[in-house]
Amino acid sequence: MQNESPLFENRRPGAGGETPLGPDVPEITMPGPSLGNGPPLALLTTVTLSPIVVLIGMRISATATLAPVADPWVPSSGIAASIAVQTLADSPISMVQKDASAPDSSQGAQVTMYNVNSRESETFVLPYDGVLSRADQKRLTHLFRCKRTGHELSPDQGLIKVLAHIAKRYDGHVLEVVSAHRHNRGTSRTSKHRTGHALDFRVQGVNVKDVRAFVWQMQEPIGLGYYREQKFLHVDWRPVDGKIAWDQRTEDSAYKYWPKWSGGDPHKKAQKAAKAKAKKKRPSRGKALRSSQPQV
Ligand SMILES: [Zn+2]
């Protein structure tokens, strides 16, 4: 049965439409690293390895390891590599070619994505600021197209930022695209898949609970859904609604919001704490009466 009521879909989103947008979604802050807002992806350089290049690279690596790492997302080896490339680009030795498609590990994370529906594979460098080059945006939009209608919509910058950090954390693993953009009639009107803000995915060779824990500790406005039976995660970017988590046991079962693995509903927790505090402050009625009576 297809139910077009957005209210119904908010309360119990179906497997096809799914993304909850509950009106009571609280704004919370979770501990953990935040995504950096780096500069847009600059022109990248390709280095043809030769003994001279390796020597220069090694020397710079040795000095760079002494410098403090300012950005927790950028490892010292990444800084060393980028300094080495930069120095070579400035040098008169013409071994460096400017190439806009070459990866730069300090700006983004390389990942191969495999669309399980179309069986297409594409490799990207996902920039940490979520701003893709025009060519990459076109390729990713095509890979993320609606599997039922073929409709294409550019994925949101916030979603790409999150994916870049997942790609970095699971470097070398293929990211399986289960469902990205949806534009078919059965998709809920409130679904974040409709607007290019959501992705259902798996990381090949990694336990889904491990990926779930990594994504959830991000201090970002994300929705995170765990689909136990189908063993995939839904992640979306929701700056207006704030962070929320849910869990679905089987394909037909209702969502359980704020499951245990998310640490529980922070809104309810705050209410409970406030109540307990108020109760502690207020003396009981009997006590108050007794203390106001004259001592005889
Ligand atoms: Zn989803």
Instruction: Tell me the CA–centroid distance for residue 112 and ligand 1, in Å.
Output: 20
pLDDT score, position 279: 84
Enumerate residues 6+ apart whose C-beta is below 8 A from 169.
214
Instruction: Tell me the CA–centroid distance for residue 208 and ligand 1, in Å.
Output: 15
Q: Residue 58 — very low, low, confident or very high, per pLDDT cuts 50/70/90?
A: very low
Q: How many CB atoms lie within 10 A of CB 192?
A: 24
What does the buried/exposed string (b/e) look like for 145-157 if buried means 16 or more CB atoms within 10 Å of the residue's CB?
bbbeeeebbebbb
Instruction: Tell me the CA–centroid distance for residue 271 and ligand 1, in Å.
Output: 30
Instruction: Tell me the CA–centroid distance for residue 18 and ligand 1, in Å.
Output: 6
Instruction: Tell me the CA–centroid distance for residue 58 and ligand 1, in Å.
Output: 45
Confirm whether pTM is higher than 0.85.
Answer: no
For residue 274, the SS3 value is helix
What separation in angstroms does the CA of 66 have from each of 50, 55, 59, 60, 250?
25, 18, 12, 10, 51
Q: How many separate helices (H) and strands (E) can be counted in the chain?
A: 8, 10
Q: Residue 269 — very low, low, confident or very high, per pLDDT cuts 50/70/90?
A: confident
Instruction: Tell me the CA–centroid distance for residue 272 and ligand 1, in Å.
Output: 31
Instruction: Tell me the CA–centroid distance for residue 56 and ligand 1, in Å.
Output: 47
Instruction: Tell me the CA–centroid distance for residue 280 and ligand 1, in Å.
Output: 43
Instruction: Tell me the CA–centroid distance for residue 179 and ligand 1, in Å.
Output: 7
Instruction: Tell me the CA–centroid distance for residue 182 and ligand 1, in Å.
Output: 9
Instruction: Tell me the CA–centroid distance for residue 256 and ligand 1, in Å.
Output: 15
Q: How many CB atoms lie within 10 A of CB 80?
A: 20
Instruction: Tell me the CA–centroid distance for residue 245 and ligand 1, in Å.
Output: 12
- Mean pLDDT, the chain, rounded, equals 74
Instruction: Tell me the CA–centroid distance for residue 265 and ligand 1, in Å.
Output: 21
Instruction: Tell me the CA–centroid distance for residue 178 and ligand 1, in Å.
Output: 9
Q: What is the pLDDT of residues 201-236, one digit of tens each?
A: 999 999 999 999 999 999 999 999 999 999 999 999
Q: What is the pLDDT of residues 74-124, one digit of tens each?
A: 333 433 333 333 333 333 333 434 344 555 567 999 999 999 999 999 999
Helices (H), 91-221: 134-143, 157-169, 208-216
**Look-up: residue for tokens 């106001």?**
292
Instruction: Tell me the CA–centroid distance for residue 170 and ligand 1, in Å.
Output: 20
Q: Residue 67 — very low, low, confident or very high, per pLDDT cuts 50/70/90?
A: very low
**High-pLDDT (> 90) share of the chain, %:** 54
What is d(CA 227, CA 209) in angstroms, rounded to the nearest whole number?
10
- Quick one: average pLDDT of 167-189? 97
Q: Residue 169 — very low, low, confident or very high, per pLDDT cuts 50/70/90?
A: very high
Instruction: Tell me the CA–centroid distance for residue 288 and ligand 1, in Å.
Output: 55
Instruction: Tell me the CA–centroid distance for residue 180 and ligand 1, in Å.
Output: 7
Instruction: Tell me the CA–centroid distance for residue 257 and ligand 1, in Å.
Output: 15
Q: What is the pLDDT of residues 10-34, one digit of tens each?
A: 334 444 445 454 433 333 334 444 4
Instruction: Tell me the CA–centroid distance for residue 129 and ligand 1, in Å.
Output: 22
